[in-house]
Amino acid sequence: MTFDANDKQTAIFVDEENHHFHLKTPSTSYVMGVVNGGWLAHLYWGKAVRRWNESAPVRYADRGFSGNTDKNDRTFSLDTAPLEYPSYGSTDFRDPAFHFRWEDGASVSEFRYKSYEVKQGRRKLEGLPHVYTEQEVEAETLTIQLYDELKQVSLYLDYVVFPDYDVLTRSVRVVNEGDEAFTVEKLTSANVDFRSADWELISLYGAHNRERDVERGPVRHGSTVLESRRGASSHQLNPFFALVSPDATETNGDVYGFSFVYSGSWRGAVEVDQFSTSRVQLGLGTLDFSWEVTPGNSFQTPEVVMVYSSAGLGPMSRTYHRLYNERLIRGRWKSEERPILINNWEATYFDFDEQKLLAIADEAAEAGIELFVLDDGWFGRRNDDTTSLGDWYPDTKKLPNGLKGAAEKITSKGLRFGLWMEPEMVSADSELYRSHPDWCLHVPGRRRSESRNQLVLDYGNPDVRSYIVERLTKVLEESPVSYVKWDMNRNMTEASSRLLPAHRQKETAHRYMLGVYEVMETITSRFPEILFESCAGGGGRFDPGMLYYMPQAWTSDNTDAVSRTRIHYGTSLVYPPSAMGSHVSAVPNHQVGRTTPLQTRGHMAMDMNLGYELDPTTFTAEEKAEVSRQTARYKELRPLMQFGELYRLESPYDGESYAVLRTNADKSEAVFLYMHRLADANAPFIRVRLDGLDPDADYRVVDLDQTFGGDELMYTGLDIPMITSDFQSFLWKLEKVT
């Protein structure tokens, strides 16, 4: 099958004569070729070209200490070739994309090109989250088969092209077509060999309460490894990174984004070799991982979403935002405005009763808040964090009318009702643990390490999954719940399952994640009207895998407005504002002790999905009025704040300012948010250049009652009032003048 690369309706062009594969979107070309007797080489990824005629072909030379696959050709070595999916043990000494242990104990592989297939649409990844299509015409899939003839094993490399989104996704499936089992010890979802090392690496590192800080630096010879070994995507490193040209900014330079659609342990790496070429990989974590593939069976990797931009980080981010909003997040809530909520956690912690909750609800309703969320402490004997996880039964001492009674009283006030749960964990002091002590991950004879006084349930166990589905279903059916916060407050230790034989124990962590996805799929499908928000001690599992099941995530337990400038900035590199929960909390802030103005806390929370996490029964009259103003303003601006195109204007990493602009699709409306951290005496004037407007239109800045040209706002900028105190902020709406 051959396609015309100049046909805009065609995403995949195959040059069968020269054995080239050209994957194309409006802005991007990705090219591979079969070289030297069956090796699949990576030829190009970057700005779209009309056709591939090899103006810069791969060059070879006789390199010392680089072995040769053909003894008659000392110039060709796998060690120096730009390979599409490199193997181990046969002259390539760089990091392999996969590593198999065969039944005889050896691990040498030789997978050569065998065939290809092009299909309209995409293949569903059963049991795994993935970017989907609503119509087959939205995507085309190239599947390349690599085959090891000795072992009779196939690797199927899937490349899914989404032309309308300027996106390529990659995943790999290994199929055992032979008669002996083997063990997968590594199977990367994507490998890209660049013929240059002139790059800088951007990654998102952090910690609990300090998630997704931006780190940038040049790549170095040797390997730079980014990974989580925690059984979760983690607070410490997010499963996203970008390789960028040294001159890359928000609006300039080459940017290559890699985002992993998975919520468990993962590994990414950038390796620069002796000849200054770069090998980039992203996929499942390799520490304490393996998977046995028996004859006739297969193993499927999760998906990597790859985005290229020739115009800087901003277009890359907006591409991810649009794709994840429209073709990763599913169901009713993918395009529906998210309600303004109040969560009782920081207002009461575990110390509440029904009357206290109703008092909070009364004040919330009066202030224009739309959803009341009952957090931790409503079940079992949960008066602190030492007990009752797993016992999903209402505490009738706190709630004498049960959960249903409290929920109905709250909804009668015009509020929706939401509920916190932590279904993946169990307390050692719980009825569930006393009844089923073997249902948690553990190694017989070893200590069962606790974190936050809890253990991890073995979601690879079907009995555990059945129990959780049964209990959650009962809770959600019995009460008028319209929102669920699904939390996960510890990482994985003693990752061993009593259901698996000894030689398959390294499958435990991935089986756990597949089990979590199965339960989430079941529960979210049964209750499609409920808005689910994922959480993991804040942002410890903020990843595309979670967004497939739950359309928003609690961005961080750190609700401080100043800290949130960095958290929002880093998170927005890949994740859309619609996915990010952000709350106004009390001062001094419970995480960092900082006191900031209520207006500024409101503006920073309005930057994403607005919520409140404080006790409104303690408000002064002035505070009540301010919160009412905030909720009214947010309802006016909500479509733009949650679903507008985001332009980052000022980075909190470069100075004291944080500034962003959002526009709607036709650029007729925009919202500008500016926040200044520390004031300076006799400081210079500040002007911010806007981005994303229509330069040929005029815009009225409503809050200033002034009109300017879009070009003027973009090229000369907009004046910020004098900063006279710490933590000042401004939120201005712009409307196109017709």
Fill in the DSSP letter of residue 13: E
| 557 in active site | yes
CA–CA gap between residue 232 and residue 216 (Å, rounded): 23
Q: How far apart are CA 557 and CA 535, in angstroms?
A: 9
- For residue 631, the surrounding DSSP H or E stretch is helix 621-643
Q: What backbone torsions phi and psi does residue 454 show, to the nearest 5 degrees?
A: -145, 160
**Residue showing tokens 């905030």:** 630
- C-alpha 698/C-alpha 537 separation (Å) is 45
DSSP designation for 517: H
Give strand pairing partners of 44. Answer: 31
DSSP letters, 587-607, are SS-TTT-----HHHHHHHHHT
Indicate if 487 belongs to the active site. Answer: yes
Helix (H) or strand (E) holding 626: helix 621-643
Residue 552: partners with Cβ closer than 8 Å, 6 or more residues away: 333, 338, 531, 533, 534, 578, 579, 580, 581, 609
Kindly write down the DSSP assignment for every residue of 162-220, as one continuous string. Answer: EGGGTEEEEEEEEEE-SSS-EEEEEEEEEEEEES----EEEEEEEETTEEEEEEEEE--
Residue of 395, 543, 557, 607 marked active site: 557
DSSP string, 37-102: TTEEEEEEEEE--S----SS-------TT---SSTT-TT--TTTS-BSS--SSSS--S--SEEEE-
Q: Are 285 and 185 in contact (CB under 8 A)?
A: no
Q: How many CB atoms lie within 10 A of CB 7?
A: 10
Closest CA to 735 of 608, 636, 634, 607: 636
Pull the structure tokens for residue 441.
Answer: 């991950």
Which of the 8 DSSP states describes residue 451? B
What is the DSSP code (8-state) at residue 94?
S
- The one catalytic residue in 158, 375, 391, 487 is 487
Cβ-contact 630, 607 below 8 angstroms: no
Is residue 428 a contact partner of residue 449, using CB atoms and an 8 Å limit?
no
For the beta carbon of residue 705, count every other beta carbon within 10 angstroms: 7
3-state secondary structure of 434: helix
DSSP H helical ranges for 382-540? 402-411, 431-435, 462-478, 508-526
Q: Which token pair is 302?
A: 């999760």
Phi, then psi, of 78 in degrees rounded to 5: -65, -20
Centre a 10 Å sphere on the Cβ of residue 81 and count the other Cβ atoms it contains.
23
Distance, in Å, from the CA atom of 536 to the CA atom of 488, rounded to the nearest integer, reads 4
The count of residues in the chain is 738
Return d(Cα 325, Cα 333) in angstroms, integer: 10
- For residue 637, the one-letter residue type is L
Q: Which residues are catalytic?
A: 487, 557
